[in-house]
Chain A
Amino acid sequence: MSLPDGWEMVVGLEVHTELKTNTKMFCGCANTFGAAPNTNVCPVCLGLPGSLPVLNVRAVELAMAIGTALHSTISPSTFHRKNYFYPDMPKDFQISQYDLPINAGGYLDLPDGSRVSIERAHLEEDTGKSTHLGGSGRIHDADRSLVDYNRSGVPLVEIVSGPDIRSSAQARTYAAELRGILIATGASDGRMEEGSMRIDANVSVRRTGEPFGTRCEIKNLNSLRSLVHAIDFEAARQVEMIEGGARVRQETRHWDENLGSTSTMRVKEEADDYRYFREPDLVDLVPDQAWQDRVRDGLKPMPAERRAVLTLRLADPAPALLDALEVVIDLGLDPFVVAALDAGVAPEPAIARAANEIASDLDGVDKLSVESYVATLLMEQRGELSATQSKTVLAEILANGGEPTSVAASKGFERLASGALGEVVAQLIEENPDEWSRYRSGDEKLAQFFIGQVMKLTSGQANGKEVIAELQARR
Chain B
Amino acid sequence: MKCARQMALDVQNGDTSAVSVLEESLAQIRSRNEELNVFLYVDEEGARAAASAVDERVARGENVGSLAGVPVALKDNLCQTNIPTTCSSKILEGWRSPYSATVVDRLLAAGAVPVGKTNLDEFAMGSSTENSAFGPTRNPHNTSRVPGGSSGGSAAAVAADMTPLALGSDTGGSIRQPAALCGLIGVKPSYGLVSRYGLIAFASSLDQIGPLTKTVSDAAIALEAIAGHDPLDSTSLPEPSPSLVAHVEDGVAGKRIGVVRELIDGADADVVASVERAVEVLKEAGAAIVELSVPEFRLGLSAYYLIAPAEASSNLARFDGVRYGLRVKADDVTAMMEATRTAGFGEEVKRRIMLGTYALSAGYYDAYYGQALKVRTLTIDAFRRAYREADLLLGATTPSVAFEFGSKTADPMAMYLSDVFTIPSNLSGEPAISVPFGTGEAGLPIGVQLLGPGRSEAQLFAGARVLEIADGRP
* Chain A residues proximal to chain B, CB less than 8 Å: 43, 46-55, 81, 83, 85, 87, 90-93, 139-140, 145, 147, 273, 275-277, 280-283
Measured between beta carbons, the chain B residues less than 8 angstroms from A93 are 314, 317
* A49 to B199 alpha-carbon distance, docked (Å): 8
Q: Is B101 an interface residue (CB 8 A)?
A: yes
Give me 21 A-to-B residue pairs in the complex whose CB atoms sit less than 8 angstroms apart, sorted by A's number.
Answer: A46-B323, A47-B318, A49-B85, A50-B79, A52-B232, A54-B231, A54-B234, A87-B320, A90-B318, A90-B322, A93-B317, A139-B332, A140-B332, A145-B333, A275-B362, A276-B360, A277-B310, A277-B360, A277-B365, A280-B235, A281-B234
Closest 4 pairs between A and B when the two form their complex, measured CB to CB: A92-B317, A280-B205, A275-B360, A280-B204
Q: Contact between B333 and A48 (Cβ–Cβ < 8 Å)?
A: no
Tell me how far the C-beta of A153 lies from the nearest C-beta in chain B, rounded to whole angstroms.
14
Given A277-B314, A281-B234, A50 and B324 contact (CB-CB distance below 8 Å): no
Find the A residue at minimum CB distance from B370.
A277
Q: Contact between B314 and A90 (Cβ–Cβ < 8 Å)?
A: no
Stretch at the interface among B34-42, B46-54, B92-100, B295-303: B92-100
Q: Contact between A91 and B369 (Cβ–Cβ < 8 Å)?
A: no
Majority secondary structure, A binding face: loop
Measured between beta carbons, the chain A residues less than 8 angstroms from B200 are 49-50
Measured between beta carbons, the chain A residues less than 8 angstroms from B323 are 46-47, 90
Partner of A52, one of B234, B333, B334: B234
Q: Is B361 an interface residue (CB 8 A)?
A: yes
Q: Contact between B198 and A85 (Cβ–Cβ < 8 Å)?
A: no
* A92 to B77 alpha-carbon distance, docked (Å): 20
* A52 to B236 alpha-carbon distance, docked (Å): 11
Given A52-B232, A277-B310, A87 and B92 contact (CB-CB distance below 8 Å): no
* A280 to B360 alpha-carbon distance, docked (Å): 14
Measured between beta carbons, the chain A residues less than 8 angstroms from B334 are 85
* A87 to B334 alpha-carbon distance, docked (Å): 9
* A238 to B99 alpha-carbon distance, docked (Å): 53
Tell me how far the C-beta of B449 lies from the nearest C-beta in chain A, rounded to whole angstroms.
25
Task: For chain B, give the interface size range.
Answer: 35 or more
Q: Is B468 an interface residue (CB 8 A)?
A: no
Q: Is B201 an interface residue (CB 8 A)?
A: yes
Measured between beta carbons, the chain A residues less than 8 angstroms from B360 are 83, 275-277
Tell me how far the C-beta of A463 lies from the nearest C-beta in chain B, rounded to whole angstroms.
64
Tell me how far the C-beta of B277 lies from the nearest C-beta in chain A, rounded to whole angstroms.
39
Partner of A49, one of B97, B231, B314: B97
Q: Is B151 an interface residue (CB 8 A)?
A: no
* A91 to B314 alpha-carbon distance, docked (Å): 8
Q: Is B383 an interface residue (CB 8 A)?
A: no
Q: Contact between A50 and B197 (Cβ–Cβ < 8 Å)?
A: yes
Which of A49, A145, A275 neighbours the largest number of chain B CB atoms within 10 Å of its CB? A49
Measured between beta carbons, the chain B residues less than 8 angstroms from A147 are 322
Q: Contact between B234 and A83 (Cβ–Cβ < 8 Å)?
A: no
Which of B310, B323, B369 neighbours the largest number of chain A CB atoms within 10 Å of its CB? B323
Q: Contact between B201 and A50 (Cβ–Cβ < 8 Å)?
A: yes
Tell me how far the C-beta of A379 lies from the nearest C-beta in chain B, rounded to whole angstroms.
54
Tell me how far the C-beta of A407 lies from the nearest C-beta in chain B, rounded to whole angstroms.
48
Q: Contact between B314 and A283 (Cβ–Cβ < 8 Å)?
A: no
Q: Contact between B99 and A83 (Cβ–Cβ < 8 Å)?
A: no
Q: Is B357 an interface residue (CB 8 A)?
A: yes
Contact with A along B77-90 (1 / 0, CB 8 A): 11100000101000
Tell me how far the C-beta of A121 lies from the nearest C-beta in chain B, rounded to whole angstroms.
22
* A298 to B334 alpha-carbon distance, docked (Å): 47
Q: Contact between B333 and A87 (Cβ–Cβ < 8 Å)?
A: yes
Which of A43, A91, A281, A283 neighbours the largest number of chain B CB atoms within 10 Å of its CB? A281
Tell me how far the C-beta of A136 lies from the nearest C-beta in chain B, rounded to whole angstroms.
14
* A399 to B319 alpha-carbon distance, docked (Å): 47
